[in-house]
Chain A
Amino acid sequence: MTGLVLAQAATGAADTVTTGEAVAFWILGPLALAGGLGMLFARNAVHSALWLAMSMLSLGVLYMVQQAPFLGFVQIIVYTGAVMMLFLFVLMLVGRDSSDSVVEVLRGQRLAASVFGLGFGVLVVAAVARSLTQVTPAGLNQVNTTGGGNVSNIGRSLFTDYLFPFELTSALLITAALGAMVLAFTGHDRKRRTQRETVVARFRGEHARPSPLPGPGVFATANSVATPALLQDGSVAPESLSEIIEATAAEQLAEDLAEVSGRVAGPDPRALRGPAGTATAPPGASATAGASAAEGES
């Protein structure tokens, strides 16, 4: 459809709004507007970015319809393709579930901001609408047909009239790169301690204990890092329990221990003797943990 519209725009009479152009506008305009509104009101940052991408795509096609194919493709390739996708990458890296706070720091701020924002919007729309109703459009027909066409003319003005601003943007890019380095790169100049120095520091008392913390009971009884390590008497080594992992395995172990040592009223012998694989059998982890605990006690 875009191709059709483009063809019409190219072959149609100079600088008049063809039917195809009008149709394209009435389809793409609302889409772009919906994209903008969607970006504002989406709860999720990723959805916001995608709404914005839709808005930009519609604008890109609109540029093509309006005799500026180069600008349209740049809009789609650079903005939608590169910038928005980079933006999405960053969102994904940072974590997409960081929601904005709903606490209003200044009272009445939202209301005032909406009122003023709406007023400003009405003013701008009215001003632009008023000043653009009786204007004859300049059109791009002349630029597109003389001097090697649209792209050549853009290139020409970049290297003549706008040579200096074009060069100056390099300062902007260098600053941006430098800023990203400053804010994100910590550098490697901190010296790593050798193993020997670490051991010396441990015995000097820089750490809470000279030996490393006991590891979890992984592979002794189970393959979960939440499995506690056991001391010689079968009790749980408290330092092997992580603070941030739920110690379900440790609780189960404590229950099994209580059962085996007879501190629970009415132990169920089937818990230990039941054949493996039956529906009533306890999970293997707790059974073996109990067995190893009994072994430790003996």
Chain B
Amino acid sequence: MTVLEAAHTSLGGFLAQVTPIQAPEIDYAAILPMLIVLGAACVGVLFEAFLPRYQRWSWQVALTLLTLVGAGLALVVYLRDNPQQGVVTLAGVLSVDRPALFLWGTLLVLAFGAVLLIADRSVEPGGAFVSHAAVRPGTIQDRAQAARLGMQTEVFPLTLFALGGMMVFCASNNLLTMFIALEVLSLPLYLMCGLARRRRLLSQEAAVKYFLLGAFASAFFLYGVALLYGYANSVRLRDIAEAAAGTNRSDTLLYAGLGLLVVGLLFKASVGPFHAWTPDVYQGAPTPVTAFMAACTKVAAFGGILRVLTGAFQATSWEWRGVLWGVAIVSMIIGAVLGLTQTDIKRMIAYSSVAHAGFLLVGSIALTGEGLSGTLFYLLAYGFTTVAAFGVVSLVRTADGEATHLSQWAGLAKRSPLVAGVFTFLLLALAGIPLTSGFIGKFVVFSAALKDGMAPLVVVALLASAVAAFFYLRVVVLMYFSEPSPEGPTVSVPGSFTMVAITLGTVITFVLGVWPAFVLDWAGAGGFAFSTT
């Protein structure tokens, strides 16, 4: 008893010495969408633990879709009366400003489409995911599980975790938070890439490749953060900008740090010479995951690039802009030229995404209000087109799974005019033909770049779009003007989930092409907020 009392008094004495800490203020209304997504991911993990296997799919799908709708509603409610200049909350770590809200909305709607594709079990019986990922490919157990219809339902909480990481990534005001968000969004993606039901070795190879290269890129990012911390004595974007603006200390650390940081960011956005993982991973991953990755990761990565460049490095843009010009040009050329030589449809879309990343970078380095709103619009438009395009790719199948070789797509219009028509429309949108969202996106991005005095870059971008248009049109010609081979693929009739996802993507691609003003207004509603006050 006396010992306890003594301990109590000594603890009390210790506590009396320590001053209580001031917990940071949290604006729960502003970050509610993100909290809903991350919280529901945890609930999804509990579902995995406590529900019997046969009930999991339906519960997980319901939870995930409800979460996305709920987070979207929270976002809409918050949008009705949010401050114009944005809110910086959680000790200045997160900044919920107009671009962040736009990106959150984009991510939620794109993830809705991707989750519908992930949840689909009608196109591929049992879904695109393997029922037991731990079984080694090619063994007796693997052949036995090929007939089983279950799927690894952990993909749903993993998708939500990745989505939560993306939402934090494009709202974080501080490089350390950004790094953790980068890991939170990447780790589930690495895992989901390796869970394909068919061609499992290819899928696992894609996962390992993505994981190793992604870890490498994360190391670059972290090294850059360390050097920038050495320069500015802070990881806050605002502090780095202030340090860069008004000191006479050596700038070597600043530029070395910026270079390494940007390598990490460009890797995630699959830009230019840092794209080496893209074709293999897009090809090997299950198609719904590819759709999720292609649309949402790009949104998050470019959201991060825009925020970092505007927030921390606007004052020094004269020094680094030349380098990013070069990167954008290399990316557009690689995407357009190598895309021409591809014979696999998923690889072709992968190279097309490299070219689009180049176009997006053109808008990102303009660092004007128009560049910001143009890039945001482009991200939204590109995301919807890509989700729908991968949805269509998952429909064209042979007995062995998806028929991704281009020669198998010959004469598809004679087999299924509707699917060929939808895919043609999506390809035209990717090429940037008028009356599609792709045209408006390119138009706003290029005009912003022109106004910022980047005419040569815009010329290169136009040339690259022309070359890229050629390989999209090649697929169109193949579908309409070739004879179908007798043992060619069949076009599955999609179930309601895939149907909704493709319809959503296609309709929005069309609507944004003819009536973009609404979204453009929203995208241009305001700039980033960085200050902590």
Which A residues contact B (CB, under 8 angstroms)? 123-124, 127-128, 130-132, 134-135, 138, 147-148, 152, 156, 159-165, 168-169, 171-172, 174-176, 178-179, 181-187, 189
Q: Which residue of B lies closest to A166 (CB)?
A: B180
Decide: A164 and B187 in contact? CB cutoff 8 A. Answer: no
Decide: B180 and A183 in contact? CB cutoff 8 A. Answer: no
Scoring B residues 145 to 170 as 1 if CB is less than 8 Å from chain A, else 0, what string do you get? 00000001010011001001100100
Cα A19 to Cα B293 in complex, Å, equals 54
Decide: B133 and A161 in contact? CB cutoff 8 A. Answer: no
Instruction: State the Cβ distance, B177 to closest chain A Cβ, in Å.
Output: 5
Decide: B168 and A184 in contact? CB cutoff 8 A. Answer: no
The answer, among A135, A164, A171, A181, for a CB contact under 8 Å with B41, is A171
- Kindly list chain A residues whose C-beta atoms are within 8 Å of the C-beta of B195: 182
Cα A128 to Cα B259 in complex, Å, equals 13
Cα A189 to Cα B133 in complex, Å, equals 14
- Interface bin, chain B: 35 or more
Given contacts A175-B188, A183-B133, contact A160 B22 (CB under 8 A): yes
The answer, among B134, B165, B256, for a CB contact under 8 Å with A184, is B134
Which B residues contact A (CB, under 8 angstroms)? 17-19, 21-24, 38, 41-42, 45, 48, 53, 90-94, 132-135, 141, 152, 154, 157-158, 161, 164-165, 168, 174, 176-177, 180-181, 183-184, 187-188, 190-191, 194-195, 227, 230-231, 233, 249-250, 252-253, 256
Decide: A168 and B180 in contact? CB cutoff 8 A. Answer: yes
Can you show 28 pairs from A to B with CB atoms below 8 A apart?
A128-B227, A131-B231, A132-B253, A135-B249, A138-B233, A147-B19, A148-B17, A156-B21, A160-B21, A160-B22, A160-B23, A162-B93, A163-B91, A165-B180, A171-B165, A172-B184, A174-B161, A175-B191, A178-B154, A178-B157, A179-B158, A179-B188, A182-B134, A183-B133, A183-B194, A184-B134, A186-B134, A187-B53
Instruction: State the Cβ distance, A52 to closest chain B Cβ, in Å.
Output: 15
Cα A124 to Cα B154 in complex, Å, equals 41
Q: Which residue of A lies closest to B154 (CB)?
A: A182
Decide: B23 and A174 in contact? CB cutoff 8 A. Answer: no
Cα A186 to Cα B145 in complex, Å, equals 11
Decide: B91 and A160 in contact? CB cutoff 8 A. Answer: yes
- Kindly list chain B residues whose C-beta atoms are within 8 Å of the C-beta of A165: 93, 174, 176-177, 180
The answer, among A160, A175, A176, A182, for a CB contact under 8 Å with B24, is A160
Given contacts A172-B184, A182-B133, contact A164 B23 (CB under 8 A): no
- Kindly list chain B residues whose C-beta atoms are within 8 Å of the C-beta of A161: 24, 91-93
Decide: B53 and A189 in contact? CB cutoff 8 A. Answer: yes
- Kindly list chain B residues whose C-beta atoms are within 8 Å of the C-beta of A169: 180
Q: Which A-B residue pairs are the 10 nearest by beta carbons?
A: A131-B252, A131-B250, A164-B90, A127-B256, A179-B191, A131-B253, A186-B134, A165-B177, A164-B93, A175-B187
- Kindly list chain A residues whose C-beta atoms are within 8 Å of the C-beta of B24: 160-161, 163
Cα A148 to Cα B23 in complex, Å, equals 18
Decide: A159 and B38 in contact? CB cutoff 8 A. Answer: no
- Kindly list chain A residues whose C-beta atoms are within 8 Å of the C-beta of B21: 156, 159-160
Instruction: State the Cβ distance, A211 to closest chain B Cβ, in Å.
Output: 22
Cα A131 to Cα B41 in complex, Å, equals 44
The answer, among B183, B191, B252, for a CB contact under 8 Å with A182, is B191
Given contacts A164-B90, A186-B135, contact A172 B177 (CB under 8 A): no
- Kindly list chain B residues whose C-beta atoms are within 8 Å of the C-beta of A147: 19
- Kindly list chain B residues whose C-beta atoms are within 8 Å of the C-beta of A176: 187
- Kindly list chain A residues whose C-beta atoms are within 8 Å of the C-beta of B161: 171, 174-175
- Kindly list chain A residues whose C-beta atoms are within 8 Å of the C-beta of B133: 182-183
- Kindly list chain A residues whose C-beta atoms are within 8 Å of the C-beta of B38: 171
- Kindly list chain A residues whose C-beta atoms are within 8 Å of the C-beta of B174: 165
Cα A172 to Cα B233 in complex, Å, equals 26
Instruction: State the Cβ distance, B128 to closest chain A Cβ, in Å.
Output: 15
Cα A165 to Cα B176 in complex, Å, equals 7
Instruction: State the Cβ distance, B92 to closest chain A Cβ, in Å.
Output: 8
Cα A168 to Cα B132 in complex, Å, equals 29
- Kindly list chain B residues whose C-beta atoms are within 8 Å of the C-beta of A183: 133-134, 191, 194
Decide: A152 and B250 in contact? CB cutoff 8 A. Answer: no
Decide: A127 and B252 in contact? CB cutoff 8 A. Answer: yes
Known: A131-B231, A171-B38. 7 other contacts (CB 8 A): A128-B252, A152-B18, A159-B23, A162-B176, A174-B161, A178-B48, A179-B187
- Kindly list chain A residues whose C-beta atoms are within 8 Å of the C-beta of B177: 164-165, 168
Q: Which residue of A lies closest to B54 (CB)?
A: A189
Decide: A178 and B134 in contact? CB cutoff 8 A. Answer: no
Instruction: State the Cβ distance, A107 to closest chain B Cβ, in Å.
Output: 17
Cα A56 to Cα B233 in complex, Å, equals 25
Q: Which residue of A lies closest to B92 (CB)?
A: A161
Decide: B45 and A178 in contact? CB cutoff 8 A. Answer: yes
- Kindly list chain A residues whose C-beta atoms are within 8 Å of the C-beta of B90: 163-164
Instruction: State the Cβ distance, B530 to closest chain A Cβ, in Å.
Output: 16
Cα A156 to Cα B48 in complex, Å, equals 36
- Kindly list chain B residues whose C-beta atoms are within 8 Å of the C-beta of A123: 256
Given contacts A160-B24, A171-B165, A185-B134, contact A124 B184 (CB under 8 A): no
Given contacts A130-B250, A164-B90, A164-B93, contact A174 B45 (CB under 8 A): yes
Decide: A164 and B91 in contact? CB cutoff 8 A. Answer: yes
Instruction: State the Cβ distance, B11 to closest chain A Cβ, in Å.
Output: 15
The answer, among A152, A175, A186, for a CB contact under 8 Å with B158, is A175
Cα A143 to Cα B141 in complex, Å, equals 59
Instruction: State the Cβ distance, B254 to closest chain A Cβ, in Å.
Output: 9
Instruction: State the Cβ distance, A10 to closest chain B Cβ, in Å.
Output: 21
Instruction: State the Cβ distance, A19 to closest chain B Cβ, in Å.
Output: 26
Instruction: State the Cβ distance, B239 to closest chain A Cβ, in Å.
Output: 12
Cα A185 to Cα B132 in complex, Å, equals 8
- Kindly list chain B residues whose C-beta atoms are within 8 Å of the C-beta of A181: 154
Cα A134 to Cα B164 in complex, Å, equals 43
Cα A184 to Cα B134 in complex, Å, equals 5
- Kindly list chain B residues whose C-beta atoms are within 8 Å of the C-beta of A134: 250
Instruction: State the Cβ distance, B224 to closest chain A Cβ, in Å.
Output: 11
Instruction: State the Cβ distance, A176 to closest chain B Cβ, in Å.
Output: 7
Cα A162 to Cα B175 in complex, Å, equals 11
Given contacts A131-B252, A138-B233, contact A172 B135 (CB under 8 A): no
Decide: B93 and A128 in contact? CB cutoff 8 A. Answer: no
Q: Which residue of A lies closest to B188 (CB)?
A: A175
Decide: A172 and B183 in contact? CB cutoff 8 A. Answer: yes
- Kindly list chain B residues whose C-beta atoms are within 8 Å of the C-beta of A175: 158, 161, 184, 187-188, 191
